[in-house]
């Protein structure tokens, strides 16, 4: 099921309601001096709403993605107005200044979404998008430089299901590198992915979720590896890595239920169902057409998609400030259209 204009409009409205909502705010700011004791709007003037920096960034990505996918929709103009207000040279200069002082800020999750925003603008044949792309470029360059230095020294990957997870961040960053034809970054990520994951075997899905995950540790890893291996090699690797995948059993991975929608951590499970769906679809795309696991994978993806999208438009801020991004990433097949 692809996203329709009515649903897209509701998701845009949720983002528009929070991109300038500075409080409540929950972010991890490293304080080096009194200079860092300021309101969020002064520390990161382009991306300060939506509870935290990364949610603000991928909220702006959502506005960009849906304005691009629905150019004639009534919400497209409102989305562009919000982007025009946030993406100014002065605001981006403030962001660059912060990332120079704090080079590890929001690595890898948040900065991966910033590069996705840059990639979206890069692909969009629109005069405003071209202008925003130019304005955003200094921050893109600074973040890419920070990331490269971080990746060069990274020897142990993060296998959790939250922001620090390495595999998901590398997937988004790799897609940006492919879109912008950044060969050095492509080679670096492929090298690191093989170093971390190529020899992994016999992962058990029985332990997922590991906590309040919004990403699947195992599926994110597989979704990354399908990007860098041939179909036959990926099929063989998947057999070794996830031997539990059945050819005829749809109960091997069940959606996670949310008991308290106002709990900010439990709300992560809404996103987990959505991200599982797109990662399963990504895994399918990386397999040979005759692979006997595809039917099981597709049925499981469909169940997660249906349950995830049924809860995508939430009234409570615990989910409304971020969940729409995951719904849009899934329903516009962003991870498949690179």
Average pLDDT over residues 165-173: 98
- How is residue 306 annotated by DSSP? H
Note the helical H segments in the chain: 5-16, 40-43, 53-69, 74-86, 89-101, 109-123, 127-153, 166-179, 183-197, 217-228, 231-241, 268-285, 294-310, 317-320, 323-331
- Angle formed at CA 110 by CA 322 and CA 220, multiple of 5 degrees: 80
Closest CA to 223 of 110, 335, 298, 114: 335
Average pLDDT over residues 73-82: 98
Average pLDDT over residues 125-153: 98
Is the confidence at residue 24, as pLDDT, over 90? Answer: yes
Tokens of 291: 């692979």
Rounded to whole angstroms, the Cα distance separating 336 from 236 reads 21
State percent of the chain over pLDDT 70: 99
Other beta carbons within 10 angstroms of residue 196's beta carbon come to 21
Integer angstrom CA distances of residue 63 from 35, 239, 271, 285: 31, 38, 18, 26
Is the confidence at residue 86, as pLDDT, over 70? Answer: yes
Please, what is the average pLDDT of the chain? Answer: 95
- How is residue 3 annotated by DSSP? P
Q: Which stretch of DSSP H or E encloses residue 254?
A: none
Closest CA to 135 of 199, 64, 186: 64
Q: Is the peptide bond prior to 24 cis by the omega test (within 30 degrees of 0)?
A: yes
pLDDT score, position 193: 98
Is the confidence at residue 29, as pLDDT, over 90? Answer: no
Average pLDDT over residues 89-102: 97
220-247 per-position pLDDT tens digit: 999 999 999 999 999 999 999 999 887 7
Q: What is the CA radius of gyration of the chain?
A: 19
pLDDT score, position 187: 98
Using an 8 Å Cβ cutoff, are 47 and 6 in contact?
Answer: no
248-271 per-position pLDDT tens digit: 766 789 999 999 989 999 999 999
Is the confidence at residue 338, as pLDDT, over 80? Answer: no
Tokens of 303: 């169940």
pTM, full prediction = 0.96
Using an 8 Å Cβ cutoff, are 60 and 47 in contact?
Answer: yes
pLDDT score, position 1: 62
């Amino acid at each position: 099921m692809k996203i329709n204009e009515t649903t897209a409009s509701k998701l845009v409205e949720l983002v528009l309601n929070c991109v300038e909502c500075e409080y409540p705010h929950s972010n991890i700011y490293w304080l080096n001096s009194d200079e860092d004791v300021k309101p969020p709007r002064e520390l990161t003037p382009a991306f300060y709403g939506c509870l935290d920096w990364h949610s603000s960034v991928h909220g702006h990505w959502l506005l960009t993605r849906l304005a691009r996918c629905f150019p004639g929709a009534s919400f497209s103009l409102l989305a562009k107005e919000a982007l025009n207000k946030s993406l100014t040279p002065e605001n981006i200069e403030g962001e660059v200044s912060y990332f120079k002082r704090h080079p590890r800020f929001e690595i890898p999750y948040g900065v991966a979404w910033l590069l996705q925003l840059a990639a979206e603008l890069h692909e969009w044949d629109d005069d405003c998008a071209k202008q925003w792309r130019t304005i955003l470029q200094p921050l893109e360059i600074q973040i890419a430089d920070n990331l490269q230095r971080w990746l060069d020294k990274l020897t142990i990957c993060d296998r959790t299901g939250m922001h620090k997870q390495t595999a998901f961040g590398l997937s988004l960053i790799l897609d940006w590198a492919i879109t912008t034809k950044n060969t050095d970054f492509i080679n670096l990520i492929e090298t690191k992915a093989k170093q971390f994951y190529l020899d992994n075997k016999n992962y058990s899905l029985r332990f997922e979720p590991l906590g309040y995950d919004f990403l699947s540790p195992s599926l994110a890893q597989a979704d990354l590896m399908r990007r860098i291996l041939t179909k036959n090699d990926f099929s063989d690797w998947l057999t070794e890595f996830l031997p539990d995948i059945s050819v005829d059993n749809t109960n091997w991975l069940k959606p996670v239920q949310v008991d308290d929608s106002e709990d900010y951590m439990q709300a992560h499970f809404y996103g987990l169902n959505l991200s599982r769906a797109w990662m399963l679809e990504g895994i399918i795309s990386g397999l040979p057409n005759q692979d006997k696991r595809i039917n099981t994978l597709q049925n499981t993806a469909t169940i997660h998609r249906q349950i995830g999208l049924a809860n995508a438009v939430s009234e409570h801020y615990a989910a409304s400030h971020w969940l729409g991004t995951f719904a849009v990433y899934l329903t516009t097949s962003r991870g498949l259209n690179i």
